[in-house]
Each structure stands twice: as C-alpha cells, then as structure tokens.
Amino acid sequence: MYPHHEDDARFPTRPEVEPPRAADDGLHTTVMAMWIAHLVGVFTNGLGNVVAVAIAYVKREDAHGTIYADHFAKAIRYFWIAAGIYVVGWVLVFVVVGALVLLGLSIWVLIFSIRGILRTRDRRPYGP
C-alpha cells in the first residue's frame, strides 16, 4: 500500500516494548500475585491493596524495560487514588453519601484489578 524501505526511520520495525523474555516468567508471576492482592483488598478492607502496593514498590525496578513496568506503575498510581477516595468515603459516611462513594470505589478496584489480571495473563502492558 505504502512502499517504504525497511531501514527508513519513520517506520520502526521493532515494538516499543520488548517481547517477554524467559527471565520475565518470575515477573509475570509477581505481577499476577500483585493484581490478585488488589482484588482481595476489596474483601479485606484494603489489606490486600497494601500488600499489592508493597510488591509494586519493591519489584518495579526489576521490571524496567519490560511489559510489566507499566503494571507496577499503574498499581502504585491506582493505590494512591483509591486510598484518597477511601478516606473521603469514610469521612462522608456520616452524611450517607460515603456509603455510595465506598461502593463505587469497590467496583472501580474490582474493574482495574480484573483488567490487570487479564492483561497479565495475555502478557500485555496494562495500557492507558
């Protein structure tokens, strides 16, 4: 359709993120455990989420340059957003709206955790 030379810099032939390497199998398992811990956090009043973010902070340097780096970055970001919403939800519980905020937060955590599990299973970056 659009002829171009293979060495043309405008048409990179390598993907931005390297494909999984054999050494990434350990990271794959760690990332899967992290997302499952986030999922469990919904049912343990946030304890699983604390475990998940601890895993993310400890292992994120090991994942540099792999597809899993994005997973760790998103897990850390979403933890801090969720922690803020959690505090606001508990403050608002006294005016009834907080229960809805906490319910919405639980649904959101379920969604991003399941998405993380599915993306990890497929060995893909978490994405936007």
Average pLDDT in the chain:
86
Domain boundary assignment for the chain: 24-121
Tell me what pLDDT residue 13 has: 55
- Checking if the pLDDT of 75 tops 80, the result is yes
pTM for the whole structure: 0.78
Question: Is residue 33 scored above 90 in pLDDT?
Answer: yes
- How many angstroms separate the CA atoms of 116 and 113, rounded? 5
Q: How many whole angstroms separate alpha carbon 113 and alpha carbon 49?
A: 10
Exposed, middle or buried: residue 123 (CB in 10 Å: 0-12, 13-18, 19+)?
Answer: middle
What CA–CA distances, in Å, run from 12 to 16, 18, 39, 68, 123? 9, 13, 37, 22, 22
Position 21 scores a pLDDT of 54
Percent of the chain, pLDDT > 90? 72
